[in-house]
DNA sequence: GCCATAATAGGAACACGTTCCAGTTTGTCC
DNA sequence: GGACAAACTGGAACGTGTTCCTATTATGGC
């Protein structure tokens, strides 16, 4: 039997048997459910295990820590968000408009589920280097979404595009943290992000 | 006897008796010492209490949580850093150069003490709204340092300057987190920040 | 079908943040 | 100096993330 790739939630290959895929899915489902109900603190390892109908030790075999678990859950949610955006062209006449559209849409999605967003953002911020793989995957997805919005024609983004996307991603993350921790309202967050986008993408 | 303003580390007034000021100082000293030795995990409340020679309950009377404690310690360190920069003019011919100088200097200072930086950054990122006061104070200090570097002549920064400073602060924070969590090297961090500064301050 | 091995269940045990309490010390007011 | 309140001490106790152990159950090769 193949081993579980517990440290890489986004690899499609080598996910083990159907039973294992199902356990993994149940665990992530339980995580999202609990996070959506009560945020970071409500995601308790014993509770996740119980709701997913696995033993505590099994949960830790699949995800070596609560942070890995939450970041993996974030990765799966992002995959879905990206997939749902993949085929439709992004509306907007300028790069700024298109990027803002994507950010607005993504942010609104997150802010519609504050507890979930709080849990996932916290986990993301608290992650150490052992979660680097998962974090990197999420970062790449965000970068892809942004560069495609900036330059829908191009298949391969330029180095400049990537640098710009990273800055926007940084602002996005900081804003999200400020919102999650109650230091900024949703409106302030949106305004600040929009302003930053127009600042780096003058068009 | 006046009560301790345990939730606002930066207020100068109302710090209580000399004995209380001394206890507070000993606690923050112990926090910084432990953080510098082993980072976030090494700052353990029982250990801080022991090293500061106070009871655990007393520690919690002064700082209601580990996060408050660390963020307050970060605030004290920032006060010192800003005070040491206050009177010297920032070298550099353009706003970019001056901002990069300030960031380099600050970042180098932080990176010279990785464990301490890890502890303080992590606390900062993990803070919730109950720590908003302390967080806001730190953010204002950073903003002041940056706007002064951008525009040394002006006494009051423009709204644009503040917006730019916020974006730079966001990138700085994200980069610091990436460095602290081992996802980026010190060099990558510095390069990314520099590039972002030149992106928003084209001069 | 049988065996070897890996995976899982169930739960005890440990670490550390946090809370709480009884007794003692310190500070204040008269 | 005495009385009262506030602060402090020392330590027990609790919750949750994490580890560990044993018995049981699935899995894959022959």
Whether A121 shows a pLDDT value over 70: the answer reads yes
Residue showing tokens 């939630």? A9
Closest CA to B28 of B5, B56, B48: B48
pLDDT band at B15 (very low <50, low <70, confident <90, very high): low
Q: Could you tell me which chain B residue has the CA closest to the CA of A188?
A: B163
Res A192: pLDDT? 93
- Helices A18-38 and A114-126 meet at what angle, rounded to 10? 110
Whether A6 shows a pLDDT value over 50: the answer reads no
Instruction: Answer whether A166 touches B (CB < 8 Å).
Output: yes
CA distances, A144 to each of A75, B105, B121, B190 (Å): 14, 33, 27, 23
Res B203: pLDDT? 83
Interatomic CA distance for residues B109 and A171, integer angstroms: 23
Interatomic CA distance for residues A17 and A4, integer angstroms: 10
Please work out, in degrees rounded to the nearest 5, the angle formed at the alpha carbon of residue B173 by the alpha carbons of B163 and A104. Answer: 60
pLDDT band at B8 (very low <50, low <70, confident <90, very high): very low
Res A125: pLDDT? 76
Do A115 and A38 meet the contact criterion of CB atoms below 8 Å apart?
A: yes
Do A63 and A127 meet the contact criterion of CB atoms below 8 Å apart?
A: no
Beta strands in B28-146 (DSSP E): none
Do A6 and A64 meet the contact criterion of CB atoms below 8 Å apart?
A: yes
Q: Across chain A, what does the average pLDDT equal? A: 85
For residue B50, give the H/E element and its range: helix B45-52
Query: B107 vs B94, which has greater pLDDT?
Result: B94
Res A110: pLDDT? 81
Residue showing tokens 């301790």? B4
Q: What is the pTM of this model?
A: 0.81
Nucleotide whose C1' lies closest to the alpha carbon of residue A43: D16
pLDDT one-digit tens code per residue, A52-110: 999 999 999 999 999 999 999 988 887 887 787 777 888 999 999 999 999 988 888 88
Res A10: pLDDT? 38
Q: What is the ipTM of this complex?
A: 0.80
Rg (CA), chain B: 18
Do B148 and B90 meet the contact criterion of CB atoms below 8 Å apart?
A: yes
Whether B2 shows a pLDDT value over 50: the answer reads no
CATH topology for the B66-201 domain: Tetracycline Repressor; domain 2 (1.10.357)
The domain limits of chain B are 12-62, 66-201
Q: Across chain B, what does the average pLDDT equal? A: 85
**How many other CB atoms are there within 10 angstroms of residue A19's CB atom?**
8
Instruction: Answer whether A128 touches B (CB < 8 Å).
Output: yes
Closest CA to A167 of B24, B170, B15, B31: B170
Do A27 and A52 meet the contact criterion of CB atoms below 8 Å apart?
A: yes
**How many other CB atoms are there within 10 angstroms of residue B169's CB atom?**
19
Whether A12 shows a pLDDT value over 50: the answer reads no
Nucleotide whose C1' lies closest to the alpha carbon of residue A17: D27
Q: By percentage, how much of chain B surpasses pLDDT 70?
A: 92
Q: What's the start-to-end Cα distance of chain B, in Å?
A: 56
What number of helices (H) and strands (E) belong to chain B?
9, 0
Query: A15 vs B144, which has greater pLDDT?
Result: B144
Is A126 in Cβ contact with B164 (below 8 Å)?
Answer: no
Instruction: Answer whether B156 touches A (CB < 8 Å).
Output: no
Average pLDDT for residues B38-63, to the nearest whole number? 96
Instruction: Give the CA B118 to C1' D5 distance in Å.
Output: 42
How far is the alpha carbon of A181 from chain B, nearest alpha carbon, in Å? 5
Residues 6+ apart with CB under 8 A from A9: A71, A72, A75, A76, A134, A137
Average pLDDT for residues B8-14, to the nearest whole number? 42
Topology agreement, domain A12-62 and domain A66-201: no
pLDDT one-digit tens code per residue, B98-131: 999 999 888 888 888 899 888 888 887 778 778 8
Res B89: pLDDT? 84
The CATH number, out of the four listed (1.10.10.60, 3.30.390.50, 2.60.120.260, 1.20.120.1630), of the domain defined by the range B12-62 = 1.10.10.60
Is B164 in Cβ contact with A192 (below 8 Å)?
Answer: no
Res B12: pLDDT? 41
Res B14: pLDDT? 53
pLDDT one-digit tens code per residue, B136-185: 878 888 888 899 999 888 889 999 999 999 999 999 988 888 888 788 88
Res A150: pLDDT? 92
The dihedral over CA atoms of B178, B179, B185, B191, expressed in degrees to the nearest 10, equals 70
CA distances, B140 to each of B79, B133, B135, B144, B182 (Å): 11, 11, 9, 6, 27
CA distances, B177 to each of A100, A173, B173 (Å): 24, 11, 6
Query: A144 vs B10, which has greater pLDDT?
Result: A144
Query: A83 vs A191, which has greater pLDDT?
Result: A191
Average pLDDT for residues A129-141, to the nearest whole number? 80
Query: A136 vs B149, which has greater pLDDT?
Result: B149
Is B170 in Cβ contact with A132 (below 8 Å)?
Answer: no
Task: Find residues whose C-beta atom lies within 7 angstroms of strand C.
Answer: A 1, 3-4, 19-20, 23, 53-58, 61-62; B 1, 17, 19, 41, 43-46, 56-57, 60, 64-67
The token pair that represents A190 in the structure block: 């949106």
């Amino acid at each position: 039997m193949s081993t579980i790739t517990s440290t890489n939630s986004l690899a499609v290959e080598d996910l083990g048997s159907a039973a294992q895929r199902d356990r993994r899915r149940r665990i992530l489902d339980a995580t999202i459910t609990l996070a959506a109900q009560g945020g970071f603190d409500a995601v308790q390892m014993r509770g996740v295990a119980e709701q997913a109908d696995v033993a505590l030790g099994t949960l830790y075999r699949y995800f070596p820590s609560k942070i890995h678990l939450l970041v993996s859950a974030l990765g799966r949610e992002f995959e879905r968000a990206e997939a749902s955006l993949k085929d439709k062209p992004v509306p907007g006449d300028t790069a700024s408009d298109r990027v803002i559209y994507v950010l607005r849409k993504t942010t609104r999605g997150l802010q519609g589920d504050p507890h979930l967003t709080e849990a996932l953002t916290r986990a993301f911020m608290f992650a150490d280097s052992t979660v680097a793989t998962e974090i990197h995957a999420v970062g790449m997805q965000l970068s892809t979404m942004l560069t495609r919005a900036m330059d829908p024609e191009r298949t391969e983004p330029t180095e400049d595009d990537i640098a710009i996307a990273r800055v926007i991603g940084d602002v996005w993350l900081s804003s999200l943290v400020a919102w999650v921790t109650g230091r900024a309202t949703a409106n302030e967050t949106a305004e600040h992000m929009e302003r930053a986008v127009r600042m780096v993408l003058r068009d």
